[in-house]
Chains A and B, each alone.
Chain A
Amino acid sequence: MTELARSRSDEVTELARSRSDEVTERTVLSEEGVVTEVAGPARETAPTGRAITAPPRGTTRLLVTGIGVVAPSGVGVEEHWQSLVRGELRVGPIEGFDPSRYGVSLAAQVRDFDPDRFVAPQLKVQTDRWTWMSLAAATLAAEDAGYVPPEEAYATSVFLAAGSGGNEFSQHEIQGLWAKGPRSVGAYQSIAWFYAASTGQVSIRDGYKGPSGVVVSEGAGGLDSFGWARRVVRRGTPAVLVGGTEAGICPYALLCQVTSGRLSTAARPEDAYKPFDRRANGHVIGEGGAILLVEEADAARARDARHVWGEVVGYGATHDAHHHEDPAPDATQYARAIRISLADAGVRPEDVDLVVADGAGVPELDALEAQAITAVFGERGVPVTAPSSWTGRLMAGGSALNVATALLAMRDGLVPATGNVDEPVEEYGLDLVRENRESDLDVVVVLARGFGGFNSSLVLRRHREETP
């Protein structure tokens, strides 16, 4: 798989190195006879020939068969999990530039990420760090799944969430433009910055031609990519790479994020991102995320998938529709997203063994999330953890990473604690998991919110071999 991916990527990057007009010439050279060949109704490449229809909902089973993590907690799914289990706070001083003028000094950086391990040199120069992380996470997910792309190239899709695009790459290019003029802008700005860059590059490198997409709903995006992947699978595509990564730790992107008013200005990591704590004072940004392979159950079985992490059984999304910036003063829509996902999954609140919370770390937002959770599950009705407290908030990548964490917790029957909590706000009425807790987990709900009022909820269930 990796070898195949590598050879494809070499081929593609070789082409991409030349400018697009040269590429055009190359493609011109290779198109002998095509015009006459396509004049008739017959085609050389056989069409799939089947109408993709939307089967009634509920009949499609979606399994997670591969997880790729590139996160502050580690590169690789086990590295991430061990770091969480050990309770390592991966927040530290921002490296690479002096952030003092932004009033923020901390971030959760991915320190042990070597892009050269995953990205060919020619491709690396064309892409932002955000895309390197997506390429790496996609490779890790496919490797974890033992996924060999089927001959039918349309059978695999890439449907990622994006938040902020190719930040650092773009800041360099735009600086060149304004400091030196238009000619200093390189050929790759047009393909490195935009929000679809990572999805496009993964699809090209790995040869995935299925229905692909990119959604942006800030922090909720990682969960939303699962929701959209389900629509893709329902309509006949058996495998989808979902999730996403983020890399916004450079001066301009940091300045932009600071204006949300939701970043902690604390100087020490242990004082900064403290979801559900009395001293909650904002969050710390992080980079990275997770990409997961989801497959339709029959397809996974047919290829003898190496393992199944769990099933995606329910999804719900709502919007506060309240204010461009402030959350709705009640948690009605947030709670409704949870209820929709439970109904979709066909599970009752009392069936849920764990909620992986969004954990904004802003008092007002924490209170609203607690309100939504208690409205659905009752006071202290379900264990709640917010593992992003260890890794920072990775925007679109964060909610995808939380899905990975939920599946790992399910596998090991171990709920990782919420980090950095000294004094939980008792009035929230949450059973906040503060020490790693052994627990048999059958159904786990993952929650996420996006700035501006996006609310999403995903229900995961432990995989059972027999078909219900």
Chain B
Amino acid sequence: MSADRRRVVVTGIGVVAPGSIGREAFWDMITAGRTATRRITFFDPSRFRSQVAAEVDFHPRRLGLSAQEVHRNDRFVQFAMVAADEAVADSGLRLGVGDAPDAPEPERVGVTLGSAVGATMRLEDEYVNVSDAGTHWLVDPRYGSRFLHQALVPSCGATELAVRFRAQGPATVVSTGCTSGIDAVGYGSQLIEDGDADVVIAGASDAPISPISMACFDTIRATTDNNADPEHASKPFDARRNGFVMGEGAAVMVLEELEHAQRRGAEIYCEVTGYANRCNAFHMTGLRPDGVEMAEALDQALAQGRIDGDEVGYVNAHGSGTKQNDRHETAAVKLSLGQAAYKVPMSSLKSMVGHSLGAIGSIEIAATALAVQRQVVPPTANYEVPDPECDLDYVPKTARDHKVDVAVSVGSGFGGFQSAIVLAKPDRRAS
């Protein structure tokens, strides 16, 4: 890497997760190994194959959103706003608060917000009204909200954050399906590396727990039918796993150029030392078991920070709990880290907070950053029966104190996208 490469650090974290709103509540929950999966309450799921999900008990007005912000925005945008509020406050940056003398230059602040399915919940709610529950192909405009254009095109989420924090730099929504949350943070890092911004509000949000999303994953049996025991429905890496549990939520990170952060004495969680993604060019939903493309993404992300496989102290897994994913990912980690794969703790948050599609990548980055800062590895809940094809250390049920100088988070998604991001202790390369 060239010596003059601009380095990127995380200086703020905000989380809206099932079972826990706020960074510390989230950390307490995942390190306690508590699950937030339950029988779906948002609608009557009895006609669906999969009837469990990890839902957020979300009261946007109590969390500081105005009545109009709630009215015009889908739940995914509302999640993003709440998570971003926490992340920005945590960073200590005075963004969007008028002409504060110590505020960063608004033109140097960017936004990269990931979302796999955008405003799908609002689009469905509104659709039910304008079509009279599917009766009419020619939907009736008199029953529709005037904010449907924003629902159709999810870039509204990036706009809301840009306006909220007066971020006049580059802004976009990143929508690469289930890797959106890693890619959004990766792109945000690239904006800073390339000198196009000094600060980026980067994260992802999704709110897919609606009948249409549940139905479409039902038909391809990607979601679990462990309906009898919702609290233990998500079983990544366990031999009994049979599909993922839908989730929702958001996480937002404040990314900052290292010297910018140091000049203001900011507290730094970790450095983003590498990010890469690759496509498997194989199948929209299927994964070849060898994990070659994910391994390639991981190799490249590690190489950017000149990190060897045996330096990795924690692998934050995609671990969705489908048969094929967990096997694919186990192979990929072995392929990339070699023998070191057998020594490194690797865990899946989806056992606790479900799979929130695009959002989960950022939620997992938030957890990974906290693991690096606190030297604690969150567990994989519900892991009991080993699968011979998944033979790594998945940190069953109980969090673990562990030396984590470097951690990686990986993701895999429909469309064949494979992403990896590497986070390291900020002083790791200080010498």
Q: Are A196 and B281 in contact (CB under 8 A)?
A: no
Quick check: is B47 within 8 A (CB to CB) of the other chain?
yes
Q: Are B149 and A194 in contact (CB under 8 A)?
A: no
Q: Are B389 and A35 in contact (CB under 8 A)?
A: yes
Return the CB mask of B209-220 against A: 1 if under 8 Å, else 0: 001101111111
* Complex contacts, B219 vs chain A, CB 8 Å: 19, 183, 185-187, 189-190
Q: Are A321 and B137 in contact (CB under 8 A)?
A: no
CB-nearest residue of chain A to B338: A41
Q: How many residues of A contact B (CB 8 A)?
A: 121
- The answer to whether residues A52 and B304 also contact, given A21-B221, A208-B279, A215-B175 and a CB cut-off of 8 A, is yes
Identify A23's interface contact among B171, B285, B291, B331, CB under 8 A: B285
Q: Are B416 and A52 in contact (CB under 8 A)?
A: no
Quick check: is B124 within 8 A (CB to CB) of the other chain?
yes
Complex Cα distance, B148 from A260, in Å, reads 8
* Complex contacts, A302 vs chain B, CB 8 Å: none
The residues in B between 320 and 341 inclusive whose CB is less than 8 angstroms from any CB of A are 322-324, 331, 334-335, 338-339
Interface centre among B173, B193, B292 (most CB of A within 10 A): B173
The residues in A between 435 and 456 inclusive whose CB is less than 8 angstroms from any CB of B are 450-454
* Complex contacts, B92 vs chain A, CB 8 Å: none
Interface centre among B139, B150, B152, B288 (most CB of A within 10 A): B152
Q: Are B339 and A40 in contact (CB under 8 A)?
A: yes
Identify A259's interface contact among B4, B146, B170, B389, CB under 8 A: B146
The residues in A between 253 and 300 inclusive whose CB is less than 8 angstroms from any CB of B are 253, 255-260
* Complex contacts, B176 vs chain A, CB 8 Å: 196, 199, 212-214
Quick check: is A7 within 8 A (CB to CB) of the other chain?
no
The residues in A between 156 and 189 inclusive whose CB is less than 8 angstroms from any CB of B are 157-158, 162-165, 171, 173-183, 185-187, 189
Complex Cα distance, B174 from A216, in Å, reads 6
Q: Are B286 and A154 in contact (CB under 8 A)?
A: no
Q: Are A12 and B127 in contact (CB under 8 A)?
A: no
Q: Are A48 and B296 in contact (CB under 8 A)?
A: yes
* Complex contacts, A450 vs chain B, CB 8 Å: 155
Quick check: is B259 within 8 A (CB to CB) of the other chain?
no
CB-nearest residue of chain B to A205: B281
Q: Are A207 and B281 in contact (CB under 8 A)?
A: yes
Return the CB mask of B190-207 against A: 1 if under 8 Å, else 0: 100111000000000000
Q: How many residues of B contact A (CB 8 A)?
A: 119
Q: Are B279 and A322 in contact (CB under 8 A)?
A: no
Identify B295's interface contact among A20, A43, A189, A197, CB under 8 A: A43
Q: Which of B19-27, B83-91, B157-165, B377-385 lies at the interface with chain A? A: B157-165
Quick check: is A463 within 8 A (CB to CB) of the other chain?
no
Q: Are B215 and A54 in contact (CB under 8 A)?
A: no
Q: Which of A24-32, A106-114, A383-391, A418-426 lies at the interface with chain B? A: A24-32
Q: Are A216 and B173 in contact (CB under 8 A)?
A: yes
Q: Are B415 and A189 in contact (CB under 8 A)?
A: no
Identify A31's interface contact among B107, B158, B165, B290, CB under 8 A: B290
* Complex contacts, B331 vs chain A, CB 8 Å: 34-35, 38
Quick check: is B58 within 8 A (CB to CB) of the other chain?
no
B344 CB to nearest chain A CB (Å): 14
Quick check: is B1 within 8 A (CB to CB) of the other chain?
yes
* Complex contacts, A98 vs chain B, CB 8 Å: 138
Complex Cα distance, B413 from A210, in Å, reads 15
Identify A20's interface contact among B1, B151, B221, B289, CB under 8 A: B221
Quick check: is B375 within 8 A (CB to CB) of the other chain?
no
Identify A173's interface contact among B107, B212, B417, CB under 8 A: B212
Identify A189's interface contact among B48, B135, B163, B215, CB under 8 A: B215
The residues in A between 67 and 125 inclusive whose CB is less than 8 angstroms from any CB of B are 97-98, 101-103
* Complex contacts, A257 vs chain B, CB 8 Å: 149, 152
Quick check: is B42 within 8 A (CB to CB) of the other chain?
no
Q: Are B279 and A209 in contact (CB under 8 A)?
A: yes
Quick check: is B254 within 8 A (CB to CB) of the other chain?
no
Complex Cα distance, B138 from A189, in Å, reads 20
Complex Cα distance, B417 from A208, in Å, reads 11
Quick check: is A224 within 8 A (CB to CB) of the other chain?
yes
Question: Which 7 A-B pairs give the minimum distances between C-beta atoms?
Answer: A200-B415, A41-B338, A178-B134, A452-B159, A179-B134, A51-B303, A195-B175
User: B interface vs A, CB < 8 Å?
Assistant: 1-2, 4-5, 47-49, 72, 106-107, 111, 116-118, 123-124, 127-128, 130-131, 133-135, 137-141, 144-156, 158-160, 162-163, 165-177, 180, 183, 187, 190, 193-195, 211-212, 214-222, 276-293, 295-296, 299-300, 303-304, 306, 309, 322-324, 331, 334-335, 338-339, 388-389, 391, 413-417
User: A interface vs B, CB < 8 Å?
Assistant: 12, 15-16, 19-21, 23-24, 26-28, 30-31, 34-35, 38-41, 43-45, 47-48, 50-57, 97-98, 101-103, 126, 153-154, 157-158, 162-165, 171, 173-183, 185-187, 189-191, 193-197, 199-201, 203-204, 206-218, 221, 224, 227-228, 231, 234-235, 248, 251-253, 255-260, 317-325, 333, 336, 395, 450-454
25 contacts between A and B (CB under 8 A): A35-B331, A43-B335, A45-B292, A47-B299, A54-B1, A171-B127, A176-B134, A177-B212, A178-B134, A190-B285, A193-B117, A195-B154, A200-B414, A200-B416, A208-B279, A212-B279, A216-B175, A217-B155, A217-B171, A317-B170, A318-B170, A319-B169, A336-B107, A451-B150, A452-B156
Other A-B pairs beyond A26-B286, A191-B415, A252-B139, 4, CB < 8 Å: A101-B140, A182-B47, A217-B158, A259-B144
